[in-house]
Structure 1
Amino acid sequence: MSSSLSLKCGLLLGLLAFPALARELEEKLRIRTLQVPAHPGQEAPSIYVSAQVASVLRFEQDIVPTKTRLLAWEGRFEPLLVGSKKVVIEPLRDLDEGEALPLHVTLADGTAFTFLVRPKLRESWGWIDYQVNVFKDPGSYNAVLSGLYDALNRERALREENERFKKEENSIDHAYATLLSNGEVGKTPFRRKRVFRLRHEDMDMVVELFKGPGKAAAVATLRNTVLEEAWTLEGASVTRDLSLRTARPFALRMERSVIVPGQSGRIAVVVDKSSFELEGGQLADLAIQIFRGDGLLQVAVAMEHALVRQ
Structure 2
Amino acid sequence: MAEEHEHAVIRTLFLPEQPEAAPQRIYVKGQVVTVLRFEQDLAPLRARLVGGEGRFEPVGVVGRKVVLEPRRDLAPEEGFSLLVTLSDAREVPFLLRPPGRREHGGADQQLNVYEDRDGYEAMASALVDSEKENKTLRAENERFRKEESSEDHALAALLTTGAVAQTPFGVADHFSGTDGDTALDGTVYRGTGKAAVVFKVKNLSARRPWSMSSVRLVGRSDTRERPLAVRSSSAVIEPGTSGVIGLVVDGSAFVDGGTLTSLYLELYRHDGLRQAIVELSPSLLGK
TM-score (norm 2): 0.83
1:81 aligns with 2:60: yes
1:303 aligns with 2:279: yes
- Pick the aligned partner of 2:243 from 265, 270, 274: 265
TM-superposition CA deviations, 1:118-172 (whole Å, max 9, x none): 1114235763212111001111111111111111111111111000000000111
**Change beyond 3 A, Cα 1:263–1:111:** closer
Can you give the 5+ residue segments of structure 1 that lack an aligned partner in the other structure?
A: 1-27
Shift in Å, 1:203: 4.3
- Pick the aligned partner of 1:106 from 85, 110, 118: 85
**What is the alpha-carbon distance in structure 1 between the residues aligned to residue 203 and residue 125 of structure 2?**
44
1:162 aligned partner: 141
1:50 aligns with 2:26: no
2:216 aligned partner: 238
**What is the alpha-carbon distance in structure 2 between the residues aligned to residue 56 and residue 159 of structure 1?**
28
2:228 aligned partner: 250
TM-superposition CA deviations, 1:64-107 (whole Å, max 9, x none): 67622233444322222321222221111111223222222233
2:167 aligned partner: 188
Tell me if structure 2 keeps the 8 A contact 1:56–1:86: yes
**What is the alpha-carbon distance in structure 2 between the residues aligned to residue 30 and residue 261 of structure 1?**
30
2:12 aligned partner: 33
Q: Which amino acid aligns with 1:150?
A: D
**What is the alpha-carbon distance in structure 2 between the residues aligned to residue 48 and residue 262 of structure 1?**
27
Tell me if structure 2 keeps the 8 A contact 1:288–1:300: yes
Tell me if structure 2 keeps the 8 A contact 1:204–1:223: yes
Identity of aligned residues (%): 39
**What is the alpha-carbon distance in structure 1 between the residues aligned to residue 100 and residue 8 of structure 2?**
11
**Change beyond 3 A, Cα 1:174–1:114:** same
Tell me if structure 2 keeps the 8 A contact 1:120–1:127: yes
**What is the alpha-carbon distance in structure 1 between the residues aligned to residue 251 and residue 145 of structure 2?**
22
Q: Which amino acid aligns with 1:285?
A: L
**Change beyond 3 A, Cα 1:301–1:152:** same
Secondary structure (helix, strand or coil) at the match of 1:127 reads coil
Secondary structure (helix, strand or coil) at the match of 2:108 reads strand
Shift in Å, 1:249: 1.9
**What is the alpha-carbon distance in structure 1 between the residues aligned to residue 264 and residue 249 of structure 2?**
9
Secondary structure (helix, strand or coil) at the match of 2:256 reads coil
Q: Which amino acid aligns with 1:299?
A: Q
Shift in Å, 1:194: 0.9
**What is the alpha-carbon distance in structure 1 between the residues aligned to residue 134 and residue 213 of structure 2?**
22
**Change beyond 3 A, Cα 1:172–1:107:** same
2:266 aligned partner: 288
**Change beyond 3 A, Cα 1:260–1:87:** closer
